[in-house]
Amino acid sequence: MVSTEPINQVTVGVLALQGAFIEHIHMLRSIPGVKQVIEVRTKAHLESVDCLIIPGGESSAMALIAERSGMLEPLRQFVRTKPTWGTCAGMIMLSDEATNAKQGGQELLGGLHVRVNRNQFGSQKDSFKTNLHFPTILGEKQSFPAVFIRAPVISKILDDSVEVLSRLEAKVGQTDAETIVAVRQGNMLATAFHPELTSDNRLHQYFVHLALQAKQ
């Protein structure tokens, strides 16, 4: 019997120290090109994956757990060399700078040359859903249903290597339309929202495609 599986496949890691990692795992399992999905909690787990998703959650708690478990430096090295996608809190973790942090600040992985503002839209009750366009990924006419929960935004691009993928298309509270909510920089992808909380897996497909390309 001839196999119908893609010749090239990737093992995808989802950082499972804290936050909404299960939803990412469920979505990834339905995507062609994914050989295996691993919950990443140790350096050995990290060394076994081709790419990594850092999920939403509480970025300061995630950073603290990573530091206490000896994962901070391995993660810093990984995100600079292999495909990594940060969603919501994960975007904060990847960024070079973060404002509106808790007293005392927090550790960041860095490498993504942006400044983010944490909790841009307020508390959990200020969560919302809106359609976004990703013209370079989905085409001009297709939109994506983005879920924002205590979400950050990108307040400043710090380097020309950062490509803006999507912006808010309407004013939300005190946040203006055209505010940046998704970027790519080389092997790094970052979104301010939770794509795993929808039934739309097109951004997960895109990330897997990036990982497959990197593995060639």
User: Does 58 appear as a known binding residue?
Assistant: yes
User: Does 68 appear as a known binding residue?
Assistant: no
Q: Is 175:114 a contact under the CB 8 Å cutoff?
A: no
Hey, CA dihedral for 136, 142, 147, 152, is it positive or negative?
Answer: positive
88 part of the active site:
yes
194 part of the active site:
yes
From the candidates 23, 45, 51, 88, give the one annotated as an active-site residue: 88
User: Does 202 appear as a known binding residue?
Assistant: no
51 part of the active site:
no
* First-residue to last-residue Cα distance in the chain: 26
Hey, CA dihedral for 30, 22, 96, 70, is it positive or negative?
Answer: negative
**What phi, psi does 165 have (nearest 5°)?**
-100, -35
Give residue for tokens 């969560």. 127
User: Does 137 appear as a known binding residue?
Assistant: no
From the candidates 24, 51, 113, 196, give the one annotated as an active-site residue: 196
From the candidates 24, 45, 194, 204, give the one annotated as an active-site residue: 194
User: Does 150 appear as a known binding residue?
Assistant: yes
One-letter amino acid of 121? F
What residues are designated binding site for L-glutamine?
A: 57-59, 118, 149-150
Residues designated catalytic: 88, 194, 196
